[in-house]
Amino acid sequence: MSKPLQQDFDALAPETFDSPYAVYADLRARCPVAHSDAWGGFWALMGYEDVRRVAGDSTGFITSVQNVVPKVAFTGRRPPLHLDPPEHTPYRAALNPLFNAARMASLEAPTRRIVVDLLEPLLAKGEGDICADFSSHLPIQVFAHWMNIADEQARVLSEVGRDYNIAVQANIDDIVKAASLQLYDMAKAVVEDRKAKPLDPATDATSALLAVRYQGQPLPEAMIIGTIRQVLVVGIIAPTVMIGSIAVHLSRDQALQARLRTEPALIPAAVEEFLRLYTPYRGFARTAVGDVEIGGRAIAAGEPIALVYASANRDETKFENADQFVLDRPNIGEHLAFGRGAHNCPGAPLARLQLRVALEELLARTEGFDLNGEIRPTRFPEIGVLSAPMVFTRSEAAR
């Protein structure tokens, strides 16, 4: 019988907004392929090269057993994340074109309107929680536009999605489950609507999935519903956390805040560096199909492996001064905030659009903003800000 593995780090240890990065730096230095006993035990790859290589190898490392640590899915297989290629391929082929440049350009004006409508009450009051009052609403409303969801459904989605969003990050299982089932019902309703009245598959995700013929057959309806439900969730949590982290960073670095305010052309590059520095999905999981050795550690087939994107993106051997914000790094394009390989994020263009527009409007409509209370951090599998009270000084132009 193999002897039990020693625990290299405790994934359940209490954290602050900053503390996980110090833990990961230590692990990268002394134990870059680390084991934790949390959630039944899992491996965590901390270094850039290991994470990149495993994310890029969907034959040797699959997502269909477990795509995240801790394993949260309890309602069946949801494409594309829970499927391995080639079963995964038709779902991505249907979804990818819906994030193309033309579609993103058409979403810019609605996104800006949503951002401004959400920001204005906060700025008028002069204070509020950047996550609870702003960033937890934004991605859901943008998503509703992208999905062409009717106003009434969008309103329900906004409420349920926000409950789900907060409950997942606060690990409140009962609410997660209840909200998850409601999200399934919503996904079903959208599929029913589109079956009755298809929209243009070039601009509508559900119609595109319904139009797919794979090996001559339509995709199973349960899997289409699962896809909508999956996209719904992966698409709303990360931007919420990420905007909180950006706002905290800019509160702590007022000089950078002022610079981006006077030079908004730098915002897209800043967003990219923030994605590296505050990678909101700490890690997704894979399972090795056979016994493997990574970094000198023996990992058995079937054991969950977290690819810790948030640690890989701060690996000094890849990014010089990795803990620092550096605008226009020469290799910024190689960060792993959106993953790598078959499961890389199809929604990256929509994520970048939201982050850019949110930051543009927040900076343009304020003379300054600052933290005004305690930061509450998120937990595995996210990393970043769950709640951050702030004060805002509205700019003259916005009054």
Running DSSP on this structure, what letter comes out for residue 2?
Answer: P
Q: Is 52 helix (H, G, I), strand (E, B) or coil?
A: helix
Q: Whole-number minimum distance, CB 55 to ligand HEM, in Å? A: 6
Given the complex with ligand HEM, which of 123 and 351 has the nearer CB atom? 351
Stretch that binds ligand HEM, among 38-46, 152-160, 333-341, 372-380 (CB under 6 A): 333-341
CB of 268 to ligand HEM, least distance (A): 14
Q: How far is the CB of 397 from ligand HEM (least distance, A)?
A: 28
The DSSP 8-state label assigned to residue 135 in this structure reads I
Q: 343: number of CA atoms within 13 Å, CB side?
A: 32
Toward ligand HEM, which CB reaches closer, 28 or 356?
A: 356
Q: Which of 32, 90, 239, 377 binds ligand HEM (CB under 6 A)?
A: 239
Residues 6 or more apart whose CB falls under 8 angstroms from that of 32 comprise 45, 46, 47, 50, 295
Q: Dihedral through CA 347, CA 310, CA 111, CA 204, nearest 10? A: 10
Closer of 244 and 346 to ligand HEM (Cβ): 346
In angstroms, the CA 353 to CA 243 distance is 12
Side by side, the strands of the sheet bearing 366-371 are 127-129, 389-394, 366-371
- The CA-based dihedral angle spanning residues 368, 370, 376, 382, taken in that order and rounded to the nearest 10 degrees: 40
Give least dist CB 153 to ligand HEM, A.
16
Candidates 10-18, 311-319, 342-350, 388-396 — which segment interacts with ligand HEM by CB under 6 A? 342-350
Candidates 161-169, 180-188, 339-347, 364-372 — which segment interacts with ligand HEM by CB under 6 A? 339-347
Binding-site size for ligand HEM (CB under 6 A) equals 28
Contact indicator for 358, 264 with CB cutoff of 8 Å: no
42 touches 66 (CB < 8 A): no
Return the number of the residue (286 or 365) whose C-beta is nearest ligand HEM.
Answer: 286
Return the range that interacts with ligand HEM (CB under 6 A); candidates 41-49, 116-124, 231-239, 386-394: 231-239
The correct pick among 11, 27, 81, 228 for binding ligand HEM (CB under 6 A) is 81
Residue pair 363/260 in contact (Cβ under 8 Å)? The answer is yes
Closest CA to 275 of 232, 346, 327: 327
**From the list 284, 369, 380, 392, which residue makes contact with ligand HEM (rule: CB under 6 A)?**
284
Q: What is the largest CA-CA distance in the chain?
A: 71
Token match 């054991």: residue? 303
Q: Which member of 350, 358, 362, 385 binds ligand HEM (CB under 6 A)?
A: 350
Q: Does 238 bind ligand HEM (CB under 6 A)?
A: yes
- In the shown chain, the binding pattern of residues 58 to 77 toward ligand HEM, with x for contact by CB under 6 A and - for none, equals -----x---x----------
Minimal distance in Å, beta carbon 147 to ligand HEM?
Answer: 8
Kindly indicate which of the ranges 46-54, 168-176, 188-196, 338-346 contains the residues binding ligand HEM, using the contact rule CB under 6 A.
338-346
Query: Pick from 71, 92, 112, 188: which binds ligand HEM (CB under 6 A)?
Result: 92
Asked if 346 touches ligand HEM (CB under 6 A), the answer is yes
Residues 244-263 that bind ligand HEM (CB under 6 A): none
Using CB under 6 A as the binding rule, whether residue 383 contacts ligand HEM is answered as: no
Do residues 329 and 313 make contact, with C-beta atoms less than 8 angstroms apart? no
CB 312 within 8 A of CB 47: yes
> What's the min distance (Å) between Cβ of 208 and ligand HEM?
13
Q: Hey, how many other C-beta atoms are within 10 angstroms of the C-beta on 167? A: 18
CA distances from 190 to 151, 198, 205 (A): 12, 10, 10
Could you tell me which residues are beta bridge partners of residue 286?
A: 305
261-280 footprint of ligand HEM as x/- string (CB under 6 A): -------------------x
Q: Is 337 in the site for ligand HEM (CB under 6 A)?
A: yes
Q: How far is CA 220 from the centre of its chain?
A: 27
| Sole binder of ligand HEM in the list 48, 309, 319, 369 (CB under 6 A) | 309
The reply on whether position 343 binds ligand HEM by CB under 6 A is yes
State how far the Cα of 71 lies from the Cα of 260, in Å rounded to an integer.
39
- In sequence order, what E strands does 28-100 have? 33-36, 42-45, 61-62
Residues near ligand HEM (CB under 6 A): 55, 63, 67, 80-81, 92, 143, 230-231, 234-235, 238-239, 242, 280-281, 284, 309, 337-339, 343-347, 350-351
